[in-house]
Structure 1
Amino acid sequence: MTLRSALYSGRVVHERMRPKRHRLSYRVFMLLLDLDEIDTLDRSLKRFSRGRLNLIGFHDRDHLDDPRGSLKDVVLAKLRAEGLDAARISVLAMPRILGKGFNPLSVFFCHDADGRLVATIHAVRNTFGQRHDYVLPATRTVGGWVEQNARKAFYVSPFLPMHLRYGFEIAPPGEAVHIGVDVLGEEGLVLAATFSGERRDLTDLAIWKALAGHPWQVAGILAAIHWEALKLVAKGFRIFPQDRATRGLRRPASPLASTPPGPSARAGSSAASWPGRAP
């Protein structure tokens, strides 16, 4: 049986343009998991598990407000709240490694019954244990890329203010995948972040090779995030504190009440800055 799920090995790159230049680049790997195939993968792979400790794993509760819910049903409900619908859903995310993990950004690809990509959900998480979603329609441009925009609506990095906009550029998963996010301010591009990866069949051997070839990911994404934060502090980057009203909340109330409703207005970003547009 041919599975749609896969492993993508590649690199995350961040380019900060202002107020000072800063660049980071790390090799990482991500899993593309069709939500209807995860249990099959759990049964067929020795080194991958769903919701259990293993070399790598996927935990539904990392993406759910209520851990008792069905992940697919929750995603479908979020789509329908925006007037969208889908038949097949896959998620591109970093796996847990030996039970530990942190996903700054997971992207849900939502297809209709004919296989057309109709929407994406950019599920973003910050280092304060909070998360939020950008639920956006997916309109392909010439060349098959998807371009989307949203106003920043959630506290992410302490080195970025809230009054920013996001521009997403996506080459949907195939033999390769590209996820890009431009962070834009009044003066133009503030940060460009990207993940670009090449497809591998999701096998036990591929999992071993991925672990051996991505040492920072094995050590921990949170460790890398805090290491880069120390560099930014040393360079004198300004810190923007989180609004007191949202501190300690798992999923802060949406600050979009004054924004006209619509798919492009819904957003959420909850992770240290991540994938962005190709520089």
Structure 2
Amino acid sequence: MTPALYECVITHTRTEPVRSVFTHRTYLWLVDLDHVPSHGPLARFLGRDHGDGGGLRDDLNAFLAGHGIAPPGRVLMLCHARVLGHVFNPLTVFWCRAQDGSPLCTVAEVHNTYGGRHRYLLHPDARGRAQAPKEFYVSPFLPVDGHYRLSLPEPDGRLRLSVALHLPDAPPFTASVRGTGRPATLGALLAAFLRHPVAPLVGAIRIRTRGIGLWARGVPVVPRCPHGPSVPDTTSRDTIRRAP
């Protein structure tokens, strides 16, 4: 069922040093990179929003080739589209299948609010679970330390994703995405847009507003240096091990 729209609920939960639960409703696209749709100002998918400005497929193939992986037969991408000129994707997921249709790998692409981007190459187990050391500065309240435990099964009409950051001597910070998909007809897109106008921009504003609220509650800020990226793309060169 591609392309598809997933209206979903995104939840962030932290328990230290203050308890905070952040919930945000939005919609995401699931598209085949070989058949990317375009709906003018309501939905555009541009290579520069996820890579170095080339085509989406070519850029991902180049990334995989850098890790010794042949071009996949099919790639599904879950992300926000560019809406009325605005786009922000805290997490984009690429599910890659080999030429014979078998699972090949998963790529988790993370963007922060400072304009940085980082890709994690994952080899999940049969349930979509994997682990990865944290290598990229995302939240100003969390260090570049610890490791992620991810559950990123390929959507089957339902979206059930989760990411938990495990830090030494601290409870995990968790984020989840839950949603239900439907074919991306023009009517479905218009309905989603009316329920969630300019969703990427609203999401970015809410993230920044939430950060101001945490800062006002006394949550200490972790400086970006020396761990922060000095260039926009800090792509990992380490293949991530399977989850136990």
Normalising by structure 2, we get a TM-score of: 0.90
Unaligned runs of 5+ in 1: 43-47, 255-260, 266-279
Q: Distance in 2 between matches of 1:139 and 1:118?
A: 11
Q: Which residue of 1 aligns with 2:204?
A: 222
Map 1:117-156 onto structure 2 (within 5 A). Answer: 117-140=103-126, 145-156=127-138
**1:183 Cα shift?**
0.6
Where does structure 1 differ by over 6 angstroms across 4 or more consecutive aligned residues?
none
> What are the superposed Cα offsets for residues 102-142 of structure 1, whole Å, 9 maximum, x if unpaired?
111101110112322221111101111110100111321xx
Q: Distance in 2 between matches of 1:240 and 1:188?
A: 15
Q: Distance in 2 between matches of 1:234 and 1:118?
A: 44
The amino acid across from 1:179 in the alignment is L
The amino acid across from 1:61 in the alignment is R
Map 1:236-251 onto structure 2 (within 5 A). Answer: 236-244=218-226, 246=228, 249-251=231-233
Corresponding residue to 1:193 among 163, 168, 175: 175
Does 105-114 or 206-215 show the bigger shift? 206-215
Q: Distance in 2 between matches of 1:129 and 1:262?
A: 22
Q: Which residue of 1 aligns with 2:51?
A: 64
**1:191 Cα shift?**
0.7
- The 8 Å contact of residues 2 and 183 in structure 2, kept in 1 or not, is answered as no
Count residues in correspondence.
Answer: 240
**1:262 Cα shift?**
4.4
Unaligned runs of 5+ in 2: none
The amino acid across from 1:13 in the alignment is T
Residue 87 in 1 paired to residue 110 in 2? no
Q: Which residue of 2 aligns with 1:76?
A: 61
Percent identity over the alignment is: 31
Q: Give the SS at the match of 1:171.
A: coil
Corresponding residue to 1:204 among 159, 163, 186: 186
RMSD: 2.1
> What are the superposed Cα offsets for residues 2-60 of structure 1, whole Å, 9 maximum, x if unpaired?
x632111111001112222110101110001101111xx33xxxxx14xxxx1222112
Shift of the 112–27 alpha-carbon distance from structure 1 to 2, 3 Å rule, reads same
> What are the superposed Cα offsets for residues 84-115 of structure 1, whole Å, 9 maximum, x if unpaired?
34211121001111111111110111011232
Corresponding residue to 1:4 among 2, 5, 17: 2
Corresponding residue to 1:263 among 230, 239, 243: 239
Normalising by structure 1, we get a TM-score of: 0.80
